């Protein structure tokens, strides 16, 4: 497992650091990629990461790498974001079962689309409230890690620096 993580995530981040990206930029890119990768609106995270990276001149490879790594957690966090969104809007809980899904679609495609759209909006509202705090916390956590890795590169430690 460690070898897989190193090959898929750590080594590409090392290569980004070797390209001269600052620790601050890399920390912000990764923090944004992680948070955007967990947005409860399926199918928008890649485009959103590209738009943000281009607009703010962040490292596109790092933000996309972090975003892609979040695919499993994006699915895991759908329900908590949905429930938090329901709580925020004081909406009744959407029943989540096969039987409830069949009943939803039996009521018609328009009804199902409206119900799922509302649930998605509620989950997105919850994510919008959590996202800034999560980006800030991750950035603060990652910045010293990447700064140490950058310092190792400048001292000649390069990609073998143990902190990254």
Name the 3-class secondary structure at 108.
coil
Give the count of alpha carbons within 13 A of 104, CB side only: 15
Predicted confidence at residue 152, as pLDDT, reads 61
pTM, rounded to two decimals: 0.78
The rounded distance, in Å, linking the Cα atoms of 50 and 44 is 10
The closest of 115, 29, 103 to 65, measured between CA atoms, is 29
The closest of 75, 61, 67, 52 to 123, measured between CA atoms, is 75
The residue-averaged pLDDT of 21-50 equals 94
Burial group, residue 104, by CB count within 10 angstroms (0-12, 13-18, 19+): middle
pLDDT digits (tens, 9 = 90+) for 101-152: 788 778 888 877 888 889 999 999 999 999 999 999 999 999 999 888 777 6
As a whole number of angstroms, the longest Cα–Cα distance in the chain is 66
């Amino acid at each position: 497992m460690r070898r897989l993580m190193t090959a898929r995530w750590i080594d590409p981040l090392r290569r980004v650091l070797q390209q001269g990206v600052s620790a601050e930029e890399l920390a912000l890119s990764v923090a944004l990629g992680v948070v955007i990768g967990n947005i409860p609106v399926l199918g928008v995270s890649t485009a959103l990461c590209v738009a943000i990276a281009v607009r703010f001149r962040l490292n596109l490879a790092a933000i996309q790498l972090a975003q892609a790594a979040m695919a499993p957690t994006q699915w895991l966090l759908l329900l908590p974001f949905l429930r938090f969104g329901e709580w925020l809007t004081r909406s009744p809980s959407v029943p989540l079962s096969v039987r409830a899904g069949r009943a939803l679609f039996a009521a018609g495609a328009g009804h199902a689309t409206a119900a799922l759209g509302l649930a998605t909006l509620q989950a997105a509202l919850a994510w919008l409230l959590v996202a800034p705090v999560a980006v800030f916390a991750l950035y603060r956590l990652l910045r010293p890690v990447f700064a140490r890795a950058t310092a190792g590169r400048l001292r000649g430690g390069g990609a073998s620096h143990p902190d990254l």
